[in-house]
Chains A and B, each alone.
Chain A
Amino acid sequence: MMKGPLTFNLKMCQPKTVKHLVNCSALTPNNLNNLSMTEISALKITQGNMTKTVSELFEISGEDTKNIIFENTDNDNLELAYIGANMTTGSITVKGNAGVYCGLGLQGGTIHCLANTADFAACNMVNGLLKIDGNTGDFLGGATAGLRKGMRGGVVLVKGNAGDRAGDQMRRGVILIEGDAGNYCGSRMIAGTIGVLGNVGKYAGFSMQRGTLLFANTPSLHATMQNCGMHTLSFLSLMLKSFNHFDTPFAALNLQRVQRFVGDAATNGNGEILVITN
């Protein structure tokens, strides 16, 4: 008989003056593998500055630890943070909003958030897939404080909008945003690819060293991004074809003709902004 997905249904709690973060980093398929329901219920996780057991915060059902679901996550008093942190395998589905640091250091497997995520999603991500059906906050695919490199592998798909500094210090990997991106998109980017189908805010590619920003709309660029003119780049069809197995409109673009900007000259950068022209 098939085991049902292990489901954590967030319980209601007493109203709080400050929203508490619940650290969900322990609730990943690799951490819960081979644990009994009793052991999982007794695991200790933090809520704000308190330590609680999993069963105090969640109603638990199902047994399949490779397939985890967070339910009823939209809560005025609690924010589920660090969902899927450092996960290496399996899948996590968030039926609702996810808190900060969703997919922090993700190394493998899939995290699917059916609504919005807060800031710092996919920070330090290494591999795997993070799908966000709604909007996401600032520093998507960035680096946690003190680190010099952000996301260094994997794929992030955002159906909605991203906040400021998407891909800040990104080292490798792909971020595809179907909506808008805020200011400083691709700032301090080291390498990798960010695609945005909507509008992009100011200072895209600020201080970028290498990497590719692929935009559907011409952004307002700062003076140190150099216009290299219109070009037909054959690598684009190769790259766009590689998105075919993802559920993203980027896969259907099938184009090679772009306007190329290179920079950021202020940091002697060799990164590029490619603007799709039809």
Chain B
Amino acid sequence: MMIINSIKIDDSFAEAFNMRGTRVLITAQNLKWAYHAANAMTGFATSVIGCGVEAGIERELLDNETPDGRPGVSILMFAMGSKVLMHQLETRMGQCILTCPTAAAFGGIDSDDAISLGKHLRFFGDGYQTSKLIQNQHGKAKRYWRIPVMDGEFLTEETTGMVRAIGGGNFLILATSQPAALYAAETAVEAMRKVPNIIMPFPGGVVRSGSKVGSKYPKMFASTNDAFCPTLKGVVNTELSDDIESVMEIVIDGLSFEDIAKSMQVGIKAICDLGETSGVKRISAGNYGGKLGPHHFKLHEIMAGNLSAKVEKQ
């Protein structure tokens, strides 16, 4: 049994899946408009189940970190396959970044797999679009497109990189009240936002509607995780003890196993640091019995400091 600062850590694991991921750097005249663009681009992108992609803002960028020297943010976007990712990236670029005043977009990750950022969007320029091939100090050239728009010129890099990634890392916060569970989740999310290469795609980084596979209704392939629903404690084969009144989940997508494991460690530690008075009683994790996802994030191993990858099943 593992107990940290009076909070029990279940001997359980989060089950995660292989995904394809990409990073895009969004800049604008100021941070306010960079966020407007990035929020639009990562909106309605909480779960691949209904949104196609899972996306979120990774972090703010300093002026000297952006290609054009303006304020910006980096976003990460994940999908179950490369086709969906490419499609979603293009449509979101077209509807959210092209349309946003002063916004520009740049590739944020190097990979041999280059996917279109502004490559096709350039045709919006109706023949007036122009490109610039700009070499870096190592002689590697990147192509940028300049598309005339009503606020001036929309600047975007032609491509960004697509890499192998992991989605679905998670942990559950079991607390004595809904405010206590939410406060603990907020505390964890705040700490986890400092970890690079990960996003938490749900609203505010927290999800309250964890799901199980299948349903009593034949057309539904996922339904509410009744074993963790506090109002069903007397009805179903519950996972909750009498004192648990609310459960919140934090879902993490990341570029590597280590990145997700690190963020889980940081998040769980932040909650444990709140102590017994926080109302948090247990930390658990969501899985499907270990048969669906090849990546298992074992809570005890992560909290013991072992963050290295161990693929259970390919």
Contacts and interface: CB of A to CB of B under 8 A. Distances in A.
A143 B152 CA distance: 34
Given A210-B130, A270-B127, A238 B155 contact: yes
Residue with the greatest number of chain B CB neighbours at <10 A, chosen from A191, A212, A235, A244: A235
A193 B130 CA distance: 12
B83 interface: no
A242 interface: yes
B89 to A, nearest CB: 21
A242 B136 contact: yes
B131 to A, nearest CB: 8
B79 to A, nearest CB: 29
Given A270-B127, A270-B128, A234 B68 contact: yes
A232 B67 contact: no
Residue with the greatest number of chain A CB neighbours at <10 A, chosen from B69, B130, B137, B144: B130
A241 B146 contact: no
B133 interface: yes
Interface string A200-212: 0000000000101
Q: How large is the interface on B (under 10, 10 to 19, 20 to 34, 35 or more residues)?
A: 20 to 34
Interface string B186-210: 0000000000000000000000000
A244 B67 CA distance: 13
B137 A237 contact: no
A235 B131 CA distance: 10
Contacts of A232: 152
B153 interface: yes
A241 B130 contact: no
Contact of A244 (B131, B132, B137): B137
B49 interface: no
Given A232-B152, A270-B127, A270-B128, A238 B137 contact: no
B69 A237 contact: yes
B69 A193 contact: no
B67 A272 contact: no
Interface residues of A, number: 21
A11 interface: no
Nearest to B28: A234
B96 to A, nearest CB: 18
Contacts of B67: 238
Nearest to B67: A238
B314 interface: no
A68 B219 CA distance: 75
Contact of B130 (A127, A155, A234, A272): A272
A273 to B, nearest CB: 13
A264 B68 CA distance: 29
A234 B104 contact: yes
A231 interface: yes
A245 B137 contact: yes
Given A242-B135, A242-B136, A245-B137, A235 B128 contact: no
B134 interface: yes
Contacts of B262: none
Interface in B120-173: 127-128, 130-137, 139, 144, 146, 152-153, 155
B127 A239 contact: no
B129 to A, nearest CB: 9
A233 B69 CA distance: 13
A131 interface: no
Given A238-B134, A241-B69, A242-B136, A231 B152 contact: yes
A193 B133 CA distance: 10
Contact of A238 (B68, B128, B130, B152): B68
Contact of B153 (A210, A212, A235): A235
Interface string B96-130: 00000000100000000000000000000001101
Nearest to A262: B128
A159 interface: no
A165 interface: no
Contacts of A233: 146, 152-153
A42 B133 CA distance: 43
A82 to B, nearest CB: 24
A155 B135 CA distance: 10
A55 B70 CA distance: 58
Interface in A235-278: 235, 237-239, 241-242, 244-245, 270, 272
Contacts of A242: 134-136
23 contacts: A127-B139, A155-B135, A191-B131, A193-B132, A210-B130, A212-B132, A231-B152, A233-B146, A233-B153, A234-B104, A234-B155, A235-B132, A235-B144, A237-B68, A238-B68, A238-B134, A238-B155, A239-B134, A242-B134, A242-B136, A244-B137, A270-B127, A270-B128
